[in-house]
Amino acid sequence: MEPKSYTITRAEIEVKSISVKTPLETKVPDDISYIRLSSFISRNAAAEFRTILEQGQNKKGYIIDLRSNPGGLLSNALYISDMFLDGGTIVSTVDRDGYKETSRANRGVITRKPVVVLINKGSASASEIFSGAMKDNHRAVIIGEQSFGKGLVQEINKLPYEAGINITIQKYLTPNGTDINKKGITPDIVVELKEEDIKNKKDVQLLKAIEVVNQMTNGQSVAVQ
């Protein structure tokens, strides 16, 4: 067999972080906007999120699915939180000397409609910053399972011979001052997604989120744990 030559052109492939497709074939009512954010890594994640949020202005409420979202850019978590919070603290960082820096939301929001956020044990880092901000500011009801608990700020320091070391320099605190590292965010309503639910293609967490959005929009009180 003779060798063949191919011309390969390098290109940047942009992976979208936002989806409106629900898992386990669970249908969301047309009057509720479902937004699945798979990660905060993409530089365009906040812009994509804003576009879908604005397109859903005719909806009565939002379900934001952060399940198995490992995190990503802090800036994305701050920008997306700012879309919902009319002022107030988003997150704080504290170093070993006790020096504290606080990131706050600007005045003005894109929407004031009810919001439910879904999390699970795979929701980490930036997902927890967003969830913590929404929970502590009483802007959303958090549903699902305890999140991962990644609340540290790290930086890479270069070493000789092209090596490096990752050093923890700060820790995150939620607006209420809660240290979530190795603890995670506790949902307002705990709902476990079991193997039998997955086998039966029944997303009990999403179904609960739909129920809660309907309660909120109908003026009913939501029982939280």
Catalogue the active-site residues.
Answer: 125, 136, 150
Give the neighbor-by-neighbor strand order of the sheet with 163-173: 100-104, 89-95, 163-173, 152-159
Between CA 126 and CA 198 the distance in angstroms is 26
Residue 64 gets the label, from left (phi > 0), alpha (psi -120 to 50) or beta, of beta
Between CA 190 and CA 192 the distance in angstroms is 7
Contacts (Cβ under 8 Å, ≥6 apart) of 220: none
Element (H, E) at 167: strand 163-173
Between CA 102 and CA 134 the distance in angstroms is 16
Start-to-end CA span in the chain (Å): 68
Name the residue among 185, 170, 169 with its Cα closest to residue 133: 185
Q: The tokens of 53 are what?
A: 């949020």
DSSP 172-221: EE-TT--B-TTT-PPPSEE----HHHHHTT--HHHHHHHHHHHHHHTT--
